[in-house]
Structure 1
Amino acid sequence: MTKQSHAFQAEVAQLLHLVTHSLYSNKEIFLRELISNASDACDKLRFEALADTSLYGEQPELRVRIAFDKAARTLTVTDTGIGMSQDEAVAHLGTIAKSGTREFMARLSGDQKADAQLIGQFGVGFYSGFIVADRITVESRRAGLPPEQGVRWTSDGSGAFEVEAITRAERGTSVTLHLREDALEYADGWRIKELINKYSDHIALPIQMEGEQWEEGKEEGQPGQMVKTGEWETVNQATALWTRPKKDISDEQYTQFYEQIAHDWQPPLAWTHNRVEGATEYTQLLYLPSHAPFDLWDREKKAGVKLYVRRVFIMDEAEQLLPRYLRFVKGVIDSADLPLNVSRELLQESRDVRAIREGNTRRVLGLLEDLAKAPAAATPAPTADDAAVTDVQDKNEAQAGDKYATFWREFGAVLKEGLGEDAGNRERIARLLRYASTTSDRASVTLDDYKARMKEGQKAIYYITADSLAAAKGSPQLELFKKKGIEVLLMTDRVDEWSLSFLREFDGTPLQSVAKGAVDLGDLQDAAEKKAAEEAAEAVKPLIEHLKEALKDSVEDVRVTTRLVDSPACLVVKDAGMSLQLERLMRQAGQAVPATKPVLEINPEHPLVKKLEGNPHFDDLAHILFDQALLAEGGLPQDPAAYVRRVNALLA
């Protein structure tokens, strides 16, 4: 065949423009695509040779070699795979999304599909070479054809290509990129090795490069240079750790792999490694880090696991494969096939993607459940070294091996987001929650623990939210609960208010904020207490009306309460209202907050309240009472200067 010119199909010009300008987020991905195509060609030969071993000819080795010449501005990727005939070169290299692999897969049926699971189905990766090259030359010979039936394909990507017959001694394909002036970095051995290690390290074929060594200048003052040794060296691992049986992988190897993919030099807390089979087949190797990254709360930061398809690296942060509240998880997902868009950088939402995300979520939650069930070792006595430790409790936790306590300290607030984001797993997440309480300053109390300690006749799980543990413990709303010995959960994470709006009950028991609604302890208050409260409310009716008038611009209502023991007053909101804590958080975040007023509850037995009626400074005292109640629950007076003036006037 003499040299012939062919026009690309109509869409090629548009595609090439897309490829070179916007299809890929960075140029370097072209090498991933070419190596992936070379690997696919070798996989295809291996499969076809099952029926015809003569296809190997005198070249039994399957490999990929990469050569470069900076002076000539070329980069060549050569494989010993199935190769192409002249007709296949015209058809497959001149047509969009038709690499030959897709047609090959379509011809398979029955058990052959299982045997060919490693063969790729991507069609436009070859064209990514034009991102860095102004001309591409492909030389190929199909396995089983004689040397004189080789083919050379050439194009500058402008809309046409040329094909001619050549004599090619070796089976397989060589793709030579004639690099643009601004892409000469890809004719550098160190740069190419870096990209292979990043994108194709786990290709299950040897990827070889010609060795280089440093040669000093022959004459004094003459600069040295890197020269090729003539020996080919394998530069990839050629094996994927996650594809090996778990029994063949040591804990040390798992840890080393984590450090490599997470760029974290602290060992992980735990990991899970599984092969999932069924309608969607994939391998998962997922890790729980031992500490939170500095940008954990950066909502703009992408987070996710590494995605491979048949051991070919696709993307660093596959966010679609884990829910947002598990963004701290590191690891690898290797799928036999996933629907990707043409750039192979963005996952398309599909049944397979949803199945993998749900499977990963279940696996991570199961791993956390196992950690939570593991008993912590006894806390050892402090040593002399503890004097140098800022938080001895944290050190003791680490010494005790309580991995879940470590996880909760680092990532508990993030896991709480799952209450709102993952309704299907809400109950599982709820059982993983840990809180401090009025019986424990450590965030170690589970909802199951709380229920097991509930008093007879107690009908709710009580909790309070605050900015800090000290503020929560000192809240006036807790006074009656402390007096009655009723445990209250102390919640101090900013996410608590939001997340609990999705957790109305746990295991059939409602959750009740002690700062919402009128206190009603039901059977935990005897008849005498209830009668005394009713009589007190009746006795101070005039005072209540007077306070309502004085504070009409600040409160929605004033009422007598039984929740206070030592404090004169406190602020609460109605059952369905927005808590004062959530209102503050929304304002701090710059969110619009609906105009609401709290309810002022007073303790009629407190001396300050008893002195209010008939006092000539009633209005000032009423406002001080309100502002002090606001301060006690973590807020600030609307007019701090006025509050100071009122207090100073009384002190004087």
Structure 2
Amino acid sequence: MSSTDTIEQPAESHAFQAEVARLLHLMVHSVYSNRDIFLRELISNAADACEKLRWLAVSDPALNADGAPLEIVIEADPAGRRLTVSDNGVGMTRQELVDNLGTIARSGTRAFLEQANAAKDAAAGQDGGAKDGSRLIGQFGVGFYSAFMVAARVVVTSRRAGSNEAWRWISDGQGTFEVAPADLADAPARGTRIVLELTEDAKDYAEETTVERVVKTYSAHVPVPIRFAKAGEAASRELTDGSALWAKAKSEVTKEEYAEFYGNVSGQWDEPALTIHYRAEGRTEYSVLLFVPSMKPFDLFDPARKGRVKLYVRRIFISDEVEILPAWARFVRGVIDSEDLPLNLSRELLQSNPLLETIRKGVTGRILTELGKLATSDAEAYLRIWEAFGPVIKEGLYEDPDRRDDLFKIIRFKSTKSGDGWRSLADYVADLKENQTRIHYVLADSPERAAASPHLEGFRARDVEVLLLTDPVDAFWVRTALGYDGKPFQSVTQGAADLDAIPLAEGAPKPDAAAAGAAEVAAVVAFVKETLGDRVADVRSSTRLAESPACLVAPDFGPDKEFEKLMSRSQGRSDFTKPILELNPQHPLVAAMARHLADTDRTLVEDAGFLLFGQARILDGEAPDDPADFGRRLVHVMQKLMV
């Protein structure tokens, strides 16, 4: 490469627009911590120049008469501390060099500088400020100036397609720039060459490994091939081929290509369980290539874990920290490439951008649609996804109420009828029993404990299905969900069971003729209620039980008992709602209590009442409220029976 240090023809000296001078001052004084951005911006500009030539050559083929393939070449010179970015795109005239590199469009200039200063202030106060500030570059068309973060001097040589003139632009970023004619022998045949004379602390950017890292991170999929060359060597090698898998038609991509891309974008070794590839067209255009993994990542439930979807704008990588998908879809990996989003908005501005919100809604809806299709067409494949990510998807029932109806279609449950399989809410509603008006569920910390709950006995006797909810999020969404298909959700441990209207299943035990009568049961209930006092909110008989003598339930409008326990563990609360003790009027023990009460043997009945209360607490996973008293009464009853 010929030297650009001296200009043989007269040069015009220009002062930067005032706002540009201030901007360059900010750049030089390192407001932005992520200096990699400069190369992304120069590559983006070069790709735009190539795309512009491609478009202009359609109507004027002479502009690309040589037919040379469009490309970007990055040349590194570690010894000379130089980095050169060249393209054979449309190039610039003298006036375009002055206009494009000497001024910023008035609209947005002040806003950029205000945000840049705000980023600088934030950087002074906390580490994250500078990082966010780096995303401001390019927001208002100032990406080129990021070169001065790493360069003491920038030399731009450009020749407009179809022109016999070439021009050179030179600046050290100190307030002025020069423009002069360039020797055609020392200029590109067409396009632009930018030479950065790197500062001492930026010399690593002239190293091959650094260049390749930055290109692979930010510009691996720009629509123009990128080649790398070392200064003084004729040979060059390809860094990127100008392709993006998501830009291809789905029919043109093989399963192997999808698998390879999934491994690159996700960093995982498993095969994707579901691939979602499409292009949205209309008022907002974007391409989507997403994958649902088949294996659960180790940090899936880490509160600090962020989504793993990469956001691109016109094939330029922008960020993988933007919340494109809702939290319940954080297991999804892949890329979304927008045609319309502005480059380099700050993360906060990008997050609230209405175009991003449109993309978010569209992509989220498509994920739900594709999961629903898979659940219908290949239930076995879908259940593998559900078993890996079901608890996360259910978070959407609580956090994303607008999507609740769609989520209900793909959510699966264990139940008293599911066995080793899973049930959908549609399956549940299809099997409703005569006079059943609610969807019943039980909360527990494990499927085994849920299935062993005495609260299920009356439902089993009537063959009424009960959902077994054992994930922590279940306790939250059932409190806010209004129901499904017009059927409200009802905990089996909350309020009255209202099972009298549902007939007993064939083969279920019939009422015991030796059971206590209604008046006797009422007497036992009243006595136990008086005995327990303010330990309980109420004592009542119930059809909820079939085999056990007693159980505890929450009041009709109180919180579910399992939810209360969950809150107590997370918040250290101890102010539980007083439970209701329900007695099984068909149980022999209740009949025996009625007989002893009639015989005025109230001491034994009192002990039995306290023991039933303690036993019910144990079955609920709690200790008796007074373990010493519980043990004393148990010994007393055993002595009475054994002596």
**Global fold match (TM > 0.5):** yes
State the AA in 2 paired with 1:323. P
For residue 31 of structure 1, the aligned residue among 33, 39, 42 is 39
Q: State the alpha-carbon separation in 1 of the partners of residues 552 and 75 from structure 2.
A: 75
Equivalences for 1:343-492 in 2 at 5 Å? 343=346, 347-375=350-378, 402-492=380-470
Q: State the alpha-carbon separation in 2 of the partners of residues 542 and 21 from structure 1.
A: 84
For residue 498 of structure 2, the aligned residue among 506, 515, 520 is 520
Q: State the alpha-carbon separation in 2 of the partners of residues 530 and 176 from structure 1.
A: 94
State the AA in 2 paired with 1:137. V
Q: Secondary structure at the match of 1:279?
A: coil
Q: Secondary structure at the match of 2:397?
A: helix
For residue 532 of structure 2, the aligned residue among 551, 555, 564 is 551
Q: Secondary structure at the match of 1:93?
A: helix
Which residue of the partner structure matches residue 210 of structure 1?
Answer: 229
For residue 567 of structure 2, the aligned residue among 579, 583, 586 is 586
Under a length normalisation based on structure 2, what TM-score does the superposition of the two structures give?
0.83
Q: State the alpha-carbon separation in 1 of the partners of residues 106 and 89 from structure 2.
A: 17
Instruction: Output one character per residue of 1:447-474: Cα deviation in whole Å (capped at 9) or x when no partner.
Output: 1111222222222221111111111111
Q: Assess if the C-alpha contact under 8 Å between 1:9 and 1:94 holds in 2.
A: no
26-35 vs 549-558, which deviates more? 549-558
Which residue of the partner structure matches residue 132 of structure 1?
Answer: 150
Call closer, same or farther: CA 1:536–1:417 in 2, change over 3 Å: farther
Percent of aligned pairs with the same amino acid: 43
Q: Secondary structure at the match of 1:55?
A: helix
Q: Assess if the C-alpha contact under 8 Å between 1:203 and 1:240 holds in 2.
A: yes
Q: State the alpha-carbon separation in 2 of the partners of residues 81 and 597 from structure 1.
A: 77
Q: Secondary structure at the match of 2:350?
A: coil
Which residue of the partner structure matches residue 196 of structure 1?
Answer: 215
57-66 vs 271-280, which deviates more? 57-66
Q: Assess if the C-alpha contact under 8 Å between 2:62 and 2:162 holds in 1.
A: yes
TM-superposed deviation, 1:2: 2.2
TM-superposed deviation, 1:129: 2.4
Which residue of the partner structure matches residue 41 of structure 1?
Answer: 49
For residue 123 of structure 1, the aligned residue among 138, 141, 154 is 141
201-210 vs 414-423, which deviates more? 414-423
Instruction: Output one character per residue of 1:208-246: Cα deviation in whole Å (capped at 9) or x when no partner.
Output: 1126xxxxxxxxxxxxxxx96420222113211111122
State the AA in 2 paired with 1:504. L
Q: Assess if the C-alpha contact under 8 Å between 1:92 and 1:98 holds in 2.
A: no
Call closer, same or farther: CA 1:553–1:354 in 2, change over 3 Å: same
Instruction: Output one character per residue of 1:19-78: Cα deviation in whole Å (capped at 9) or x when no partner.
Output: 864556x33222212111110111122223333333336573321111111122222211
Which residue of the partner structure matches residue 215 of structure 1?
Answer: none
Call closer, same or farther: CA 1:33–1:435 in 2, change over 3 Å: same
341-350 vs 464-473, which deviates more? 341-350
For residue 10 of structure 1, the aligned residue among 15, 19, 22 is 19
Q: Assess if the C-alpha contact under 8 Å between 1:255 and 1:267 holds in 2.
A: yes
595-604 vs 4-13, which deviates more? 4-13
Instruction: Output one character per residue of 1:255-282: Cα deviation in whole Å (capped at 9) or x when no partner.
Output: 1111111111111111121121111111
The answer to whether structure 1 residue 268 and structure 2 residue 272 are counterparts is yes
Call closer, same or farther: CA 1:94–1:287 in 2, change over 3 Å: same
Which residue of the partner structure matches residue 633 of structure 1?
Answer: 620
The answer to whether structure 1 residue 290 and structure 2 residue 294 are counterparts is yes
Which residue of the partner structure matches residue 335 of structure 1?
Answer: 338
For residue 192 of structure 2, the aligned residue among 173, 183, 195 is 173
State the AA in 2 paired with 1:445. R
Call closer, same or farther: CA 1:494–1:90 in 2, change over 3 Å: same
For residue 302 of structure 1, the aligned residue among 306, 320, 335 is 306
533-542 vs 246-255, which deviates more? 533-542
Call closer, same or farther: CA 1:533–1:563 in 2, change over 3 Å: farther
State the AA in 2 paired with 1:572. V
Q: Secondary structure at the match of 1:272?
A: strand
Which residue of the partner structure matches residue 107 of structure 1?
Answer: none
Instruction: Output one character per residue of 1:273-324: Cα deviation in whole Å (capped at 9) or x when no partner.
Output: 112111111111121110111111122211042122222222224422x222
Q: Assess if the C-alpha contact under 8 Å between 1:284 and 1:333 holds in 2.
A: yes
Instruction: Output one character per residue of 1:455-513: Cα deviation in whole Å (capped at 9) or x when no partner.
Output: 22222221111111111111010111112222211111111121222332211222221
Which residue of the partner structure matches residue 78 of structure 2?
Answer: 70
Q: Assess if the C-alpha contact under 8 Å between 2:27 and 2:146 holds in 1.
A: no
Q: Secondary structure at the match of 1:548?
A: helix
Q: State the alpha-carbon separation in 2 of the partners of residues 537 and 181 from structure 1.
A: 95
TM-superposed deviation, 1:369: 1.1
State the AA in 2 paired with 1:65. V
Gaps of 5+ in 2: 1-9, 109-137, 505-509
Instruction: Output one character per residue of 1:417-443: Cα deviation in whole Å (capped at 9) or x when no partner.
Output: 222333333222112121111122335
Equivalences for 1:243-254 in 2 at 5 Å? 243-254=247-258
For residue 234 of structure 2, the aligned residue among 224, 227, 230 is 230
TM-superposed deviation, 1:189: 0.7
Q: Secondary structure at the match of 1:589?
A: helix
Gaps of 5+ in 1: 101-119, 212-226, 377-401
State the AA in 1 paired with 2:431. R
State the AA in 1 paired with 2:101. L
Q: Assess if the C-alpha contact under 8 Å between 1:99 and 1:124 holds in 2.
A: no
The answer to whether structure 1 residue 495 and structure 2 residue 473 are counterparts is yes
Q: Assess if the C-alpha contact under 8 Å between 1:154 and 1:163 holds in 2.
A: no
Call closer, same or farther: CA 1:371–1:645 in 2, change over 3 Å: farther
Call closer, same or farther: CA 1:280–1:327 in 2, change over 3 Å: same
Q: Assess if the C-alpha contact under 8 Å between 1:23 and 1:343 holds in 2.
A: no
Under a length normalisation based on structure 1, what TM-score does the superposition of the two structures give?
0.82
Q: Assess if the C-alpha contact under 8 Å between 1:8 and 1:160 holds in 2.
A: no
For residue 154 of structure 1, the aligned residue among 171, 182, 185 is 171
Q: State the alpha-carbon separation in 2 of the partners of residues 19 and 586 from structure 1.
A: 53
State the AA in 2 paired with 1:586. M
Q: State the alpha-carbon separation in 2 of the partners of residues 478 and 334 from structure 1.
A: 51
Q: State the alpha-carbon separation in 2 of the partners of residues 167 and 270 from structure 1.
A: 57
Equivalences for 1:76-87 in 2 at 5 Å? 76-87=84-95
Q: State the alpha-carbon separation in 2 of the partners of residues 153 and 229 from structure 1.
A: 25
Q: Secondary structure at the match of 1:407?
A: helix
Q: State the alpha-carbon separation in 2 of the partners of residues 623 and 560 from structure 1.
A: 16
Q: Secondary structure at the match of 2:320?
A: strand
Which residue of the partner structure matches residue 142 of structure 1?
Answer: 160
Instruction: Output one character per residue of 1:314-342: Cα deviation in whole Å (capped at 9) or x when no partner.
Output: 2224422x222111111221221114554
470-479 vs 504-513, which deviates more? 504-513
Aligned-CA RMSD value: 3.3
The answer to whether structure 1 residue 182 and structure 2 residue 201 are counterparts is yes
Q: Secondary structure at the match of 2:272?
A: coil
TM-superposed deviation, 1:621: 4.8
State the AA in 2 paired with 1:300. A
TM-superposed deviation, 1:414: 1.2
